[in-house]
Amino acid sequence: SQQGEEDPQALSIQEGENATMNCSYKTSINNLQWYRQNSGRGLVHLILIRSNEREKHSGRLRVTLDTSKKSSSLLITASRAADTASYFCATDPQGAQKLVFGQGTRLTINP
């Protein structure tokens, strides 16, 4: 079953703007991860944030985690057309031996 809910389901912005995607989850977690998927391809890992971390950066990506609200956000700054993809959050629930994926956000960057 899906644990994560993401919003928005779809986001379309102009190149150069920032894109923010949100993820909410239900149970306690060990870590939360963000993945990217280009159409018809496998997923690529972007960033992992542990439950005791609040913010993490990787290049143009910034991820925040609020365990009290059971939510996370992914910010992509200075977006590029090549950022067009679906983005998924995934949680590693405590006690579970698997990742549970959110519904995903389809991001479109318009040139």
Q: What is the DSSP string of the chain?
A: ----EEE-SEEEEETTS-EEEEEE-SS-EEEEEEEEE-TTS-EEEEEEEETT--EEEETTEEEEEETTTTEEEEEE-S--GGG-EEEEEEEEETT-SS-EE---EEEEEE-
Q: Is 22 in the site for other proteins (CB under 8 A)?
A: no
Per-position x/- string for 38-77, each x denoting binding to other proteins as judged by CB under 8 A, each - no binding: --xxxxxx--x-----------------------------
User: Is the Cβ of residue 18 or residue 94 nearer to other proteins in the bound state?
Assistant: 94
| Residues that bind other proteins in the complex, under the rule CB under 8 A | 1-2, 30-31, 33, 35, 40-45, 48, 88, 90, 92, 97-104, 106
